[in-house]
Structure 1
Amino acid sequence: MLAHAGGSSIAFAQAQWSYPAGNGLQAVAHFAHQVTGVSVSERGRIFVNFPRWTEDAPLSVAEVLRDGSLRPYPDAGWNAWRNVRRDELDPASHWVCVQSVVADGRGSLWVVDPAAPGLDGIVRGGPKLVRIDLASDRVAQVIRFGEDVAIPGSYLNDVRFSADGRYAYLTDSGQRGALVVVELASGTARRVLDGHPSTQPEPGVVVRTDGRPLRYPDGRPVLFAADSIALSEDGYLYWKPLTGTRLYRIATGVLVTRGLAGQDVADAVQPYGRVGPTDGFWIGRGTNTLFITAIEDNAVKARDLSQGPNGGLRVVAQDPRLRWPDTFSQGPDGALYVTTSRIQDSAFFRRDAPLALPTQLWKLRPPAAGSAH
């Protein structure tokens, strides 16, 4: 049940803190709606988001409180937009269809809003990257994306930030994949690798779940473009299309010089081996370990990037409850958090699926690099 719009918390989901599961997993929260993004701040605050994909979700961005409730974040007003009342509120100052939330470790939470509810076209004026000051819980900056960045058919997906806090890098998993580079101070943004093979669904790749090809009810295959993204401490941005097996990287120096200047950066793209179909990426702090969500295997896997393009994968956690592991974050104690968005169980693919799909947030402590699992 929803709290009154003026209330400080909302109880449409309940959190269960540190409840032991198996295989090193701990259930952190169970939600009544489909979650995608999670981020844990440097002070241990947990934030999640719920995209308006197959339902008009009553909440878009929330903080998971320790009493088990969800607090609309930064407030109920930003969460007041509804599909059925889309003409009543300004989409530039409300959450329309939020895909990811990322705490930058510098006192801010950033929210990526592609503003494409139901993945059925962009709400004009809605695509944006928003910074919330965690000390005051107030919106501090709104970077609006015009149609030169959030082109028709686009779906801005996830974001990473440079160590100096000057730049952001996003993936676009929509109809024509790309990366987006943003200079945060000015809000200047540029699409790069727009339509490049590294950002498009990989020909011949079939995404499988539960041992079967994942298809829409009309038989169409899943074709998602650039999605997974991670930033290493040595200055490389890693990404890949969800419908794809190949991993790519590029030096961020190329993106902020040539890319923001509108120059072609295709010659700087480096193929970096194969990892299978994936959704979320995370590079552990102080390590060269790339964690991936292995959506076909209900698993979290890891790869040592220092081994080069031919480095192998090791299983960190595999459990049938990790149905479509989606997005990672890392807590201040080093623990990994991962959402399970259960995309294969959603109304996109199953005619009998509930519009409000229950999902989860999990926590695990990865083994040290090189240890057996």
Structure 2
Amino acid sequence: MNRLIKFSAILLLGVTWRAGAEGNSNFEILASLDRGPGNVTVTQEGHVIMSLHQFYAPEFSVVEMQSNHALTPFPSPASSAFASRSALKLDSVLGIRSDKNGVVWMLDNGMRGKSTPKLVGWNVRTDQLHRVIYLPPPVTGEHAFVNDFAVDLRHQRIFISDPAGGSDAALIVIDLATGAARRVLQGHSSVLPENVDLIIDGKPIQVREASGRLVRPHIGVNPITEDLNNEWVYYGPMHGHSLYRIKAADLADENLDAKTLASRVERYSDKPISDGITIDERNNIYLGELAENAIGVILADRTYRRLAQCPRLSWVDSFSFGPEGRLYAVVNRLC
């Protein structure tokens, strides 16, 4: 992917839309950044916290956006727990989510420093470290790229998407009670990339391999979210036109064998090539339509509607609902 150095109008889109509304939604640019964001989460207290995309080699992996739009390191280096815990050394965070207990979960893929991937939870209410869960082999393999996730406090699980190298894509299930992690659905059709190219503004997205050869990447499971009742987990390959779902209770059930678990997967709907997704209380699923510089929604009746389209919406990566009901999104212009 072509990596830009300069950014304008990157964060933060405030998208306003309600089911049943006619026409496209409006969005506003809430802040423009000089650093490329990765994913965003907004806590119940209104803290806007985002990862900075590792493609751009940021000084800090995670930051908080202040009311004046300044970006400050998160957690704050002034926190005593931060200063004293080597586990809080964040290498390459992309996925970031907050839960109703005030814990901001940060998924560190460890790819910049070649460190063991880990999930770090920081409590913004107590300003203290909540949890560190490491994800060593065989939960993560040679091609692991732990990317996004959903937090399920009802089942005490975290569900992670790992597109890995394509053929070894899988979901990872973490038991929050024990910290144990399992790799599931590896190689299942619902996590594998489809043979479709991402074409933006008439040009196929390509990356250059170490050999110098240009290839068109096909990335497996990436977008993942869970409904607010913690019943269904929705996910799919980034390079793919299908969204799938499986019951959270089935993913959480360690007694289901691989074949039985695979039989519980349902194809839910069509989708465009997309990165991060989120869901509202009416089970509308929001996503970035990468090929069209757009934001869209899969409605509860499983039909797709484009909400907004604009050149400024170049690679809408991640979404989060704020406590006021506003939908926040980041645009990081990865190509």
Q: Shorter-chain TM-score category?
A: 0.7 to 0.9
Counterparts of 1:134-283 in structure 2, within 5 Å, are 134-164=124-154, 166-175=156-165, 176-203=168-195, 205-217=196-208, 218-234=213-229, 235-258=231-254, 263-264=258-259, 265-283=261-279
- 1:114/1:17 CA distance change after superposition, 3 Å: closer
| In 1, Cα distance between equivalents of 2:90 and 2:189 | 31
TM-fit CA distance, 1:163: 4.4
> Which amino acid letter does the alignment assign opposite residue 312 of structure 2?
R
Structure 2 residue aligned with 1:32: 34
Asked if 1:76 corresponds to 2:77, the answer is yes
| In 1, Cα distance between equivalents of 2:12 and 2:225 | 27
Unaligned runs of 5+ in 1: 1-11, 79-89, 345-373
Structure 1 residue aligned with 2:96: 101
| In 1, Cα distance between equivalents of 2:297 and 2:308 | 10
TM-fit CA distance, 1:56: 2.8
Larger mean CA deviation between 55-64 and 319-328 belongs to 55-64
Please give the per-residue CA displacement for 1:73-118, whole angstroms capped at 9, x wherever unaligned.
112389xxxxxxxxxxx9743111111211112211100111112x
Q: Tell me, what secondary structure is at the counterpart of 2:215?
A: coil
Aligned pair count reads 309
Q: TM-score scaled to structure 2, two decimals?
A: 0.85
Structure 2 residue aligned with 1:128: 118
| In 1, Cα distance between equivalents of 2:12 and 2:53 | 23
TM-fit CA distance, 1:66: 0.7
Structure 2 residue aligned with 1:42: 44
> Which amino acid letter does the alignment assign opposite residue 61 of structure 1?
V
Please give the per-residue CA displacement for 1:259-298, whole angstroms capped at 9, x wherever unaligned.
7x664411111112211211111111x2121111111111
Please give the per-residue CA displacement for 1:4-47, whole angstroms capped at 9, x wherever unaligned.
xxxxxxxx999998999x96222122222221110000111100
- 1:158/1:282 CA distance change after superposition, 3 Å: same
Q: Give RMSD over aligned pairs.
A: 2.7
- 1:338/1:19 CA distance change after superposition, 3 Å: closer
Are the aligned partners of 1:92 and 1:144 in contact in 2 as well (CA < 8 Å)?
no
- 1:96/1:56 CA distance change after superposition, 3 Å: same
Asked if 1:333 corresponds to 2:324, the answer is yes
> Which amino acid letter does the alignment assign opposite residue 76 of structure 1?
P
| In 1, Cα distance between equivalents of 2:11 and 2:35 | 16
Q: Tell me, what secondary structure is at the counterpart of 1:250?
A: strand
> Which amino acid letter does the alignment assign opposite residue 297 of structure 1?
E
> Which amino acid letter does the alignment assign opposite residue 167 of structure 1?
R
Q: TM-score scaled to structure 1, two decimals?
A: 0.77
Please give the per-residue CA displacement for 1:52-85, whole angstroms capped at 9, x wherever unaligned.
22x431111111001221121112389xxxxxxx
Unaligned runs of 5+ in 2: 1-6, 16-23, 80-84
Are the aligned partners of 1:23 and 1:318 in contact in 2 as well (CA < 8 Å)?
no
Q: Tell me, what secondary structure is at the counterpart of 1:322?
A: coil
Structure 1 residue aligned with 2:105: 110
- 1:246/1:77 CA distance change after superposition, 3 Å: farther
Are the aligned partners of 1:91 and 1:123 in contact in 2 as well (CA < 8 Å)?
no
| In 2, Cα distance between equivalents of 1:269 and 1:105 | 27
How high is the sequence identity, in percent, across the aligned residues? 27
Are the aligned partners of 1:128 and 1:143 in contact in 2 as well (CA < 8 Å)?
yes
